[in-house]
Amino acid sequence: MTSSYTMNLTFDDNPDGIFYPGQTVKGQLEFIVSAPLKLRGLILTIRGSAMCNYSSDLTAEQEFFVQDRDLIGSKGAEPKEIQTGTYDYDFAHRLPRNIPYSIEGVYGYVKYYVMATLDLPWDMYDKTVEKPFTVKRYEDLNYMSGMRDPREIIVKKDIDSPSWIFWKTVNGYVILKGSIPKCGYAPEEEIKVDVEINNQSNVDIESVLISLQNVGSYVCQTPWAKLEKSTQLKMCEIVAKGVKAGYTSKIKEKLAVPATTLITSVMFCNVYQISYNVQISLKFRRYNNNLTMNIPVYIGSVGLKPVEELDKNVRIPPLWPPDYKVQANDKQNAEKENSENIDASSAMTEEAAD
């Protein structure tokens, strides 16, 4: 049976449907009726949400925003007849600043979409047409606190060896120290990693593995506990020489952050997050004494610049790349917020001086 109606969703001047926080999602719904049609309502929804699901009974969802608009009637209303013709409806929604970027993971996702729902009186199920759009984030590390701070972690482990079936003896210890000069990096930058190993045991360390790990965290909140599942993806790895028993070693390596690396996403979503670690692993020649250390790093869109090169007239981090074309009203809103922030900061400085 041929349908007597057609619904089409399009975005204004954005055929790829890619937006940044702070931008306005604008477009049209075209509703074409080829024969008189009875309906209860035509509803337009713009929504952003995240979900994780890593078992049949463990799921979690977080809604970032939702906008429902009744275009004709409303859901469950008395039926009314719509005459033949083409009906165009404009829609617009300004995206919040504090939303994560779109991503599809192993056990969850972050998705955004525009959906038109047609409530027909004779049909048990609503008819819908959905058009997803992609949200990207542009994070300039120069406007984020703590990104220039170095990090250092020291771990000590006793080395065991089996002597009897039910007994283990301690054969010395190993001290592992790992450090990086700063916390924040961007794709295609290099992470300088310094490793110091003091192997005061009688077991050789066969190799030292230094890698950048992508960690996906999925969180479900149950009535009795907060449960978390994580996945790890190796982005790059360097294999360095091991350390013989009784010796010390210093290793200096550079990890190249791949150009396709997604930025860190931990601030705006509670159920699905993306983080990164520089992982240092010691692999021993005998026994199960392997030692692993993780140094957290933050991946942003723009790497750190010398402090003297920063623009002091910009107080609010830019929401999109400098060469990205945005609508005039979105640009004006961003400039207004930056100006208000500068004025507020100047007023606070003057009060402190008085």
CATH number of the domain residue 118 falls in: 2.60.40.640
Instruction: Tell me, yes or no, whether 150 and 226 share the same domain.
Output: yes
Non-local (6+) Cβ contacts of 186 within 8 A are 141, 257, 299, 300, 301, 302, 303
| Residue where one domain finishes, among candidates 116, 135, 154 | 135
Instruction: Give the domain extent around 230.
Output: 141-299
| Residue where one domain finishes, among candidates 135, 153, 168 | 135
In a domain, 158, yes or no: yes
- How many Å apart are CA 319 and CA 331, to the nearest integer? 10
Q: What is the pLDDT of residue 33?
A: 93
What is the mean pLDDT of each successive set of 10 residues along the chain, which is 354 residues long?
A: 83 93 95 91 97 84 96 87 94 96 95 95 84 96 93 92 58 94 97 97 93 96 82 96 95 97 95 97 82 97 87 71 73 66 44 48
Instruction: Tell me, yes or no, whether 172 and 265 share the same domain.
Output: yes
| Residue where one domain finishes, among candidates 135, 161, 182 | 135
Q: What is the pLDDT of residue 169?
A: 65
Q: What is the pLDDT of residue 347?
A: 44
Instruction: Tell me, yes or no, whether 10 and 81 share the same domain.
Output: yes
Q: What is the pLDDT of residue 345?
A: 42
Instruction: Tell me, yes or no, whether 274 and 154 share the same domain.
Output: yes
Q: What is the pLDDT of residue 193?
A: 98
- 220-259 residue pLDDT tens: 877 777 889 999 999 999 999 999 999 999 999 999 999 9
Counted domains in the chain: 2
Instruction: Tell me, yes or no, whether 151 and 276 share the same domain.
Output: yes
How far is C-alpha 111 from the geometric centre of its chain's CA atoms?
12
How far is C-alpha 26 from the geometric centre of its chain's CA atoms?
24
Q: What is the pLDDT of residue 328?
A: 66
Checking 267-270 for CB contacts under 8 A at 24+ apart, the result is 267/98, 267/100, 268/64, 268/98, 268/99, 268/100, 269/50, 269/62, 269/100, 269/110, 270/50, 270/60, 270/62, 270/219
Q: What is the pLDDT of residue 317?
A: 76
Instruction: Tell me, yes or no, whether 23 and 128 share the same domain.
Output: yes
Q: What is the pLDDT of residue 352?
A: 45
DSSP secondary structure string, 159-210?
Answer: EEEEEETTEEEEEEEEEEEEEES-SEE-TT-EEEEEEEEEEEESS-EEEEEE
Q: What is the pLDDT of residue 166?
A: 53
Instruction: Tell me, yes or no, whether 237 and 289 share the same domain.
Output: yes
In a domain, 262, yes or no: yes
- On whether the CB atoms of residues 145 and 260 are closer than 8 A, the answer is no
The tokens describing 25, both together, are 């999602």
In a domain, 341, yes or no: no
In a domain, 22, yes or no: yes
In a domain, 311, yes or no: no
Relative to beta strand 134-135, strand 18-19 is: parallel
Instruction: Tell me, yes or no, whether 117 and 225 share the same domain.
Output: no
Instruction: Tell me, yes or no, whether 125 and 150 share the same domain.
Output: no
How far is C-alpha 41 from the geometric centre of its chain's CA atoms?
36
| Strand residue runs (E) in 102-148 | 103-104, 108-119, 127-132, 134-135
